[in-house]
């Protein structure tokens, strides 16, 4: 690929496609690249806080944004970026296939990775009853008893989704209260198939060929017999490129950006969940806004 892009967007989530829409409208020759379409948005069972939609599934919202992007002439490429290098004229991206791409500027929308519990049995039973995505894997547990681990929006919405598939859903929360929006908590409290357990940490996942139970810190039940465990304990910033290219990050690993979403490296911008912008309020609305701000800055400055 000999052509030189004005902008390459790394990451195919909501921030990435939002940025691509603005880039196309500014007349920038744009490529959006990533291994998997949709990022974490496609895993959302229902989204109820994005303006214009009372409720919409994550996959439908992403498909709509993708369709809008492609109609504007943005090029997609499904490939893993292995290396990002600053050059005199811009940047060189090296792909897994060893192909290289040249671009004047880069927008990183690399998001977060799922946080793990790091307890015994978690790694060994992953894919054998332990999972990190209810919408991806929920139907494998139809009619079975399962648990969701976590207390935020993702955990509660996952439990609600699973209640339509599984015979019973336990939601296990390490702290003494849920952290989800009141809207979702009210829905959970009115659902007879979901049982909430507060002050319940996880000590071990038990089983050999498949998950059989989970050991907890709850004195009322040290062991809970379940067939599936969905871990929803938050995320941490994706650190791909941040160390190799030397971009500045904060103590938690979030990419530091200024008011235009520019990083510490000239020509390199970042938006979405991987940055310290918007008070780290990781929402679709803030991700889209940050990407738009970044592209506007790139399009109107040298």
Residue 8's nearest CA partner among 137, 112, 94 is 94
- pLDDT for the residue 1: 47
Residue 22: its H or E element: helix 14-25
Catalytic (active site) residue 136:
yes
205's tokens: 């996942």
CA distance 19 to 31: 11
What's the pLDDT tens digit per position in 22-43? 999 999 999 999 999 998 898 8
Q: What is the mean pLDDT of residues 57-68?
A: 95
Q: Is the pLDDT of residue 14 over 80?
A: yes
Q: Is the pLDDT of residue 45 over 80?
A: no
Among 6, 133, 220, 258, the active-site one is: 133
What's the pLDDT tens digit per position in 75-129? 999 999 999 999 999 999 999 999 999 999 999 999 988 899 999 999 999 999 9
What's the pLDDT tens digit per position in 122-160? 999 999 999 998 988 899 999 999 999 999 998 999 999
* 3-class SS of residue 231: strand
* CB burial readout 53-79, b (16+ within 10 A) else e: eeebbbbebbeebbeebeeeebebbee
Map out the domains of the chain with their CATH numbers: 4-114+235-300 (3.50.50.60), 130-231 (3.50.50.60)
Q: Is the pLDDT of residue 234 over 70?
A: yes
CA 283 to chain centre: 10
Kindly calculate the radius of gyration of the chain based on its CA atoms and give it in whole angstroms: 21
Catalytic (active site) residue 166:
no
What's the pLDDT tens digit per position in 236-289? 888 877 888 999 999 999 999 999 999 999 999 999 999 999 998 989 999 999
Reduced DSSP (H G I as helix, E B as strand, rest coil) percent helix, strand, coil of the chain, to 5: 25, 30, 45
Catalytic (active site) residue 153:
no
Q: Report the percentage of the chain scoring pLDDT > 90.
A: 85
Among 6, 136, 186, 220, the active-site one is: 136
Q: Is the pLDDT of residue 230 over 80?
A: yes
């Amino acid at each position: 690929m000999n052509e030189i892009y004005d902008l390459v967007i790394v990451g195919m989530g909501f921030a990435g496609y939002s940025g691509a829409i603005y880039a196309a409208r500014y007349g920038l020759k744009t490529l959006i690249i990533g291994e998997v379409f949709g990022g974490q948005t496609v895993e959302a069972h229902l989204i109820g806080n994005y303006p214009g939609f009372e409720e919409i599934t994550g996959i439908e919202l992403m498909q709509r944004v993708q369709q809008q992007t492609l109609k504007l002439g943005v090029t997609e490429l499904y490939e893993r970026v292995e290396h990002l290098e600053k050059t005199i004229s811009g940047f060189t991206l090296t792909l897994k296939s060893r192909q290289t791409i040249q671009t004047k500027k880069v927008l990183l929308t690399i998001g977060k990775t799922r946080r793990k519990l790091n307890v015994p049995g978690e790694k060994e039973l992953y894919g054998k009853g332990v999972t990190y995505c209810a919408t991806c894997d929920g139907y494998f547990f139809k009619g079975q008893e399962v648990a969701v681990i976590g207390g935020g929006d993702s955990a509660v919405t996952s439990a609600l989704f699973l209640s339509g598939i599984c015979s019973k859903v336990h939601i296990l929360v390490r702290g003494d209260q849920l952290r989800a929006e009141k809207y979702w908590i009210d829905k959970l409290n009115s659902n007879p198939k979901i049982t909430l357990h507060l002050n319940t940490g996880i000590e071990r996942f038990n089983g050999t060929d498949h998950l059989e139970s989970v050991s907890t810190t709850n004195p009322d039940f040290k062991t809970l017999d379940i067939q599936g465990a969905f871990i929803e304990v938050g995320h941490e910033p994706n650190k791909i490129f941040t160390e190799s290219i030397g971009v500045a990050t904060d103590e938690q690993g979030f990419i530091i950006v200024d008011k235009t979403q520019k990083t510490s490296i000239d020509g390199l911008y970042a938006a979405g969940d991987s940055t310290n912008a918007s008070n780290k309020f990781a929402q679709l609305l803030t991700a889209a806004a940050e990407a738009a701000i970044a592209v506007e800055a790139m399009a109107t400055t040298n």
